[in-house]
Structure 1
Amino acid sequence: MTRRSAEVRLDSLLSTACDVIVERGLANTRTSDVAAAAGVSQALVFYHFATKENLLAQAFAYAAEQDLARLHSVVHSTATPLEKLKKILRLYAPQGRSKSWAMWIDGWSESLRTPELEKVSRRLDLRWKEALTEVITAGVDEGAFKCDDPAGAAWRILAIIDGLAVQVTVHDRVMSRRQLSEWIRLSAAREIAIEPAQLI
């Protein structure tokens, strides 16, 4: 097997693993399930991932990295801090029946029992908080926002979205998308002393 074909196959296995995890859950996903869904042998799965725990942690990271690539693009764009903040809130908030949020919720739960997954989820989660802190800090420096604690504000904003996302992902129709968006804008606006309407 050439290096390039191994890389392509690894990418395909991770993508398939994400689909299986969303369907079965992290705790109920077996390496044999991923192998069967990918149409490969279980030995090939173990060739790439020494253990089931390693497979799950890498699949979780693979899914999260797709969102983080979009986040990176927003943070390093030439947009104003306000525009960046609006885009980050849209990226982070759950959309429809979000597979990404289903994996995050499952990942946090499974992290209580799987140290390897806990390390990955913590590292990925912190990248969102660091990015939002950077954007709020830039807004304060430019005079667009007022905030004495950008890092604390970032944690609080994302914590509110985390809690709301769990509700709308787990409980169908518990609140409207409009209500969800309004509460997110309200909490973010309060943290940086702007009007919620500026975040529309």
Structure 2
Amino acid sequence: MPASQRREAIITASQKVLLAKGLMAATTRDVTEELGVGVGLLSHYFSWTDLRSLAFARIAQADIDSAIRQRCDVEASQVLRDVIATAFAESADPVWRLWIEATELAATDPSMSRVVAACTDQWWQAVAGLFERGCVEGAWSCGDPQGASWRIIALLQGLAGLTLAGDPRLTRAEATRHLTIAVEREYQALAGSPALSQTNRR
């Protein structure tokens, strides 16, 4: 197998391991067992800290792509509704756990610190761009899309962490309701555009 393909296979296996075990619990042995190769081969291509960071970056970027960046052909209002509706679904738990662990690791791991900063910036740009696109499409007006993006991202991460912690006072439905209210406060819906709280009721 060419070196470039071997590297990609290692990264792909690492992504699978991280989603299953988390950043803190995963080890190089988990990755090599997933690949069916020896530890020496992995270390020939990557250090563990760099591989772990790169695999997390791939996961985070794929999440941003599927949620927002690859949906430019869908109306901004619908994309935003979908982001809110799926933010705290059980299927999102593995990625949120990785984000929380990555943030913790970033304090002592320079490689992870760079990746977390870069991926957070990509989330910020994607959400700000979504608010801006909604203005252009006439779905809403928003005086501060970039500031709104920071506030929504912070709330998303906070609510996700609390939801994963299992506090019975904050159910997934309640987390979704709080996020919906916060988003609606960031923009002014224009005539003919229903509020998110009206379209997200279940």
On whether the aligned pair clears a TM of 0.5, the verdict is: yes
Matched, 1:111 2:114: no
State the match for 1:100 in structure 2.
Answer: 95
Aligned 1:30-109 pairs, distance under 5 A = 30-49=27-46, 51-70=47-66, 71-74=68-71, 76-77=72-73, 79-90=74-85, 93-96=87-90, 98-109=93-104
Distance 2:182 2:40 in 1: 49
Q: What amino acid does structure 2 have at the position aligned with 1:46?
A: S
Distance 2:145 2:110 in 1: 30
Matched, 1:197 2:194: no
State the match for 1:169 in structure 2.
Answer: 164
Distance 1:199 1:109 in 2: 36
Q: What amino acid does structure 2 have at the position aligned with 1:42?
A: V
TM-score, normalized by length of structure 1?
0.84
Distance 1:38 1:170 in 2: 32
TM-score, normalized by length of structure 2?
0.83
Distance 2:124 2:179 in 1: 15
Q: What amino acid does structure 2 have at the position aligned with 1:119?
A: R
State the match for 1:182 in structure 2.
Answer: 177
Q: Percent identity?
A: 25
State which drifts further: 33-42 or 128-137: 33-42
Contact 1:111–1:121 at 8 Å: present in 2 too? yes
**3-state SS of 2:142 partner:** coil
State the match for 1:2 in structure 2.
Answer: 2
Distance 2:83 2:25 in 1: 32
Q: What amino acid does structure 2 have at the position aligned with 1:177?
A: R
State which drifts further: 17-26 or 94-103: 17-26
Q: What amino acid does structure 2 have at the position aligned with 1:96?
A: E
Distance 1:110 1:26 in 2: 9
Distance 1:137 1:73 in 2: 16
1:15-39 deviations in Å (ceiling 9; x for gaps): 4323443555434433233223432
Distance 2:80 2:134 in 1: 9
**3-state SS of 2:101 partner:** helix
- Describe the shift of the 1:80–1:45 C-alpha distance in structure 2 as closer, same or farther (beyond 3 A): same
- Describe the shift of the 1:90–1:15 C-alpha distance in structure 2 as closer, same or farther (beyond 3 A): farther
State the match for 1:135 in structure 2.
Answer: 130
